[in-house]
Structure 1
Amino acid sequence: MSYKIGLVLDEPKIEMSTDESRSADEQKRITANKIYEVLSKKYEVVNIVADVKIIENLKNSNIDIVFNLSTGVRGESRQSQIPAILEMLGIPYVGSGILAHAMALDKTVAKQIFKYHDVLTPNFQIFHDENEKLNPELKFPLIIKPACEGSGFGIHGDSVVYEEEAVRKKVSKLLKQYQPPILAEEFIEGREFTVGIIGNGKDKTVLPILEIDFKDIPEEYGKFYSFEVKANFGHKTNYYCPAPISNKLEEQIKAMASKAFDALGCRDLARVDVRVRDDVPYILEINSLPGLKPVYSDLTKMAEAAGISYDELIIKILEEAIKRIGKVRRVNS
C-alpha cells in the first residue's frame, strides 16, 4: 500500500550563532534531504516545517503518517511537542511517544526511571543551584552536563571534574547557559559503546554494538563524547563495529540497552549510550530521536555493520512504525 508521508523538520535556528547550533542545523539539513530522497523512491513525501503554522499545515497536508525529525522548538520537553500535536490531530507518526521523548530528553528523569527498573546507571546528583550540598557518596571524577540537551551540547573537555570547587564552577557556568537542572554523574572510566535499536517489543532488532575509541583525541577535548569530539574530531575518533568484545559482554550490553529502551517506553528506534568498567555495563542515556545523517551518525554506522544500507534503514524504521500502528488511516478520511 502506498502512503503519503509528512516529513516534519525543524526550522533553522538562524538567530543562534554558536558553533553548536550551526553544526546541528547543518546535520539536520543533510539528514532531512537524504531521508526525503529515500522515502520519495517509494512514497509521496511532503516536507512540513515545525513552526507556528504547523497545526494548520498538518491539517491541510492530507498525509497518512509523519516521519518526525523535529526536536521541537524550545523548553524542557521540546522533543515531545510534535508528537503531542500529532496525537491531538490523530495523525500516526514514526518514533517514540510524548512521555518517552520527555523522559529520554531529561537525563535526570531517565536515570530515576532506570534505577526503578534495575537498569544499571552511574550514580548522580541533580543541581538546580550551584550552592546545593554535594552528595558525599558520589565518587570523583564526575562529569557535569545539562540535563536536557543532546548532540554533545554543554559537554566539553573540562566537563569531567575531580574536586568539589570545580563541580560548583562548572554547574554555575552551565546554569547560565542552559535551562536547569544540571546533572553531576559519576564518570565511568572505561570503554564507551552505543547500541542502536530498531522496532518494538520482542521483535525489535538490536544492531551490532559500536565502540567509540577516543585514544587519538587531543587531551584538552576529553576522552569522551564532548561537543568538540562529535563536531570536529570524527576523523580522530576510532569506531569499531561490531565492537571487539566477548560474547558474554555483548549479551550483557544488548540486554541492558533493550531493558532501558523498554523502561522508558521507546518506540521504533533509539540509540542507547553505554560505558563499561570492569566488564560491567552502565547505561548513560537514551537518545529517543537519534541522528540519521548518512555515514556520520552512529545509528547509520551500526546499520551498515549489520548489512543494512541507508535506504533500507530508513524504510525499515518506517515499516516498523506502520506495523506497530497496525492500520494507518488518512487524516481527513
Structure 2
Amino acid sequence: MRIVILVDEEMYDPSDPDLSNHRPVRYFDTEYYVADALRSMGHSLLVVPATPDLVATIAKIRAFRPRVVFNLVEHVGGHRANDSIVAGVLEVEGIAYTGGSASSLAISRNKYLSKLVVASAGLKVPRSFIWNGHDAPPRRMDHPLIVKPLNLDGSEGITANSYVTSVAALRRQLKRLARQSSGPIICEEFIEGRDVIVTLSGIDTVSVDSIRELVFPRGSPVTFATQRIKFDRRYRKRFGIHYRTPTHLISSFKGEIERVARGTYRALKIDSYCKLDFRIRNQDIVFIEANPNSALSRKSSTTDFGRVGYDRFIRKIVRMALERHARHSA
C-alpha cells in the first residue's frame, strides 16, 4: 500500500524522503518509528512536509497517489492550532488520513472548550476561566490554580510558576505568559491527586489500550506535569519522578477510570486514537486535557507499547483511517 507520512516542516529531510536512513532522536523519534513499522509491513512510503502552502502540500500528496496519509502534523508555520486545518483540507480533498478529525482536533486543543464539552457529558472537570490579556486579573482566588497557555500541546508552556496560590502570584504568571505569547491563557483549579494518562483507540468500539501514572515522590519540586518533567529525563531521574503502570489499582476503580475515559473520548468525538490526562482526587476522576494524534514513539513513557504491541497499534490506526474514509465516501 502507498502511504504518505505527513510531518512538520522541520522534521523533513529531502535527502531521506522515506525516512529509511533517519535515526531517532529522543522526544523527536515518532516519525522514524512510524515509518519503520509501516515499512516492515511492506508499505511504500513517501514523507511530505506540511508547509503553509497547503496547495503545494496537497499536490505532492496526490502525485504519490497514496491509499492513506499518516498524519503526524503538530503545527503549520509555527502555529499549533493549524493542525486541525490540515485535517480539514484532507477531508475536503477526499483523502483518507489517520488521527483525529478536524473538529475533534480543534475542540481538544482548546483546553477550556474541551472541558465544557466533557462537563456537558456529566463528567468531572476543574473549574476554570480564560484570561485574554485585556480584562483586569481577578481580585480574589478561592483555590490554587494552574495558569497555562490555552492552545498549546500537552505540557508546553507549563513550568513550576504555573502553580499559583495567591492573587499576586497569579498576576505575575499572567504577565509572564503575556510577554511570551499573545495567545489566551487558561486559569484552572489545581486538582490535588494522582496524575494518570489513558491511551484509547477506536471508532465504534473504543478500547482502553494503556493506563500510565506519573509518580511524584516526596520532595519533588512540583507535583504536576511541567514541560521540563515531560522532556528532561535527567531532571526526572534527579528527583525520582517516573512513569509506571499502576498495576495495584483495584479492578473496580480501574473499571471506573476506563468508563470515564471512554465517556470523555466519545464526548470529544474522537474517532481514531488519543491520550487523555486525568487527575484522581480521592475517588474523583477529573479530566484535564485531551491529546488526539498524540506522540507515537515506540519508546513512549506515557503509553505501554510493550504490552499493547507497537506494530499492532500502528496497523490499527491505518485500518481505522481507511474505515472512516469508506464511511464518509459512501
Q: TM-score, normalised by structure 2?
A: 0.86
What is the CA-CA distance between 1:267 and the residue it aligns to? 1.5
Counterpart in the other structure of 1:81: 85
SS at match of 1:273: strand
Distance 1:30 1:117, change over 3 A: same
Q: 2:216 aligned to 199, 214, 221, which one?
A: 214
* Matching residue's letter, 1:8: L
* Matching residue's letter, 1:82: V
Counterpart in the other structure of 1:32: 31
Distance 1:76 1:32, change over 3 A: closer
CA distance in 1, matches of 2:311, 2:242: 25
What is the CA-CA distance between 1:265 and the residue it aligns to? 0.9
Distance 1:327 1:6, change over 3 A: farther
CA distance in 2, matches of 1:87, 1:191: 38
Counterpart in the other structure of 2:19: none
Whether 1:171 and 2:170 are equivalent positions in the alignment is: no
What is the CA-CA distance between 1:5 and the residue it aligns to? 0.8
Whether 1:117 and 2:110 are equivalent positions in the alignment is: no
CA distance in 2, matches of 1:230, 1:54: 31
SS at match of 1:71: coil
CA distance in 1, matches of 2:101, 2:219: 36
Structure 2: give runs of 5+ residues left out of the alignment: 13-23
Answer whether contact 1:72 1:81 (CA < 8 A) is retained: no
* Matching residue's letter, 2:30: T
What is the CA-CA distance between 1:324 and the residue it aligns to? 3.2
Counterpart in the other structure of 2:9: 11
Moved over 6 A (4+): none
Distance 1:65 1:252, change over 3 A: same
Counterpart in the other structure of 2:40: 41
What is the CA-CA distance between 1:152 and the residue it aligns to? 1.6
CA distance in 1, matches of 2:311, 2:328: 22
Q: CA RMSD in A?
A: 2.4
CA distance in 2, matches of 1:217, 1:93: 45
Counterpart in the other structure of 1:22: none
* Matching residue's letter, 1:213: V
Counterpart in the other structure of 1:237: 241
Q: 2:66 aligned to 60, 63, 68, which one?
A: 63
CA distance in 1, matches of 2:265, 2:28: 27
What is the CA-CA distance between 1:260 and the residue it aligns to? 1.1
Counterpart in the other structure of 1:21: none
* Matching residue's letter, 1:322: L
* Matching residue's letter, 1:78: N
* Matching residue's letter, 2:2: K
Whether 1:104 and 2:108 are equivalent positions in the alignment is: yes
CA distance in 1, matches of 2:75, 2:228: 23
Distance 1:99 1:7, change over 3 A: same
What is the CA-CA distance between 1:55 and the residue it aligns to? 2.1
Counterpart in the other structure of 2:21: none
What is the CA-CA distance between 1:122 and the residue it aligns to? 0.5
Distance 1:179 1:256, change over 3 A: farther
Counterpart in the other structure of 1:314: 314
Whether 1:197 and 2:195 are equivalent positions in the alignment is: no
Question: For each residue in 1:100-132, what CA deviation from the matched residue of structure 2 results, as whole angstroms up to 9, or x when unmatched?
Answer: 101111101111112222221101111102753
SS at match of 1:295: coil
What is the CA-CA distance between 1:190 and the residue it aligns to? 0.6
Answer whether contact 2:127 2:189 (CA < 8 A) is retained: yes
What is the CA-CA distance between 1:40 and the residue it aligns to? 1.1
Q: Percent identity?
A: 24
CA distance in 1, matches of 2:163, 2:33: 36
Counterpart in the other structure of 1:248: 252
Counterpart in the other structure of 1:19: none
CA distance in 1, matches of 2:219, 2:7: 33
CA distance in 1, matches of 2:91, 2:219: 43
Q: 1:285 aligned to 284, 289, 313, which one?
A: 289
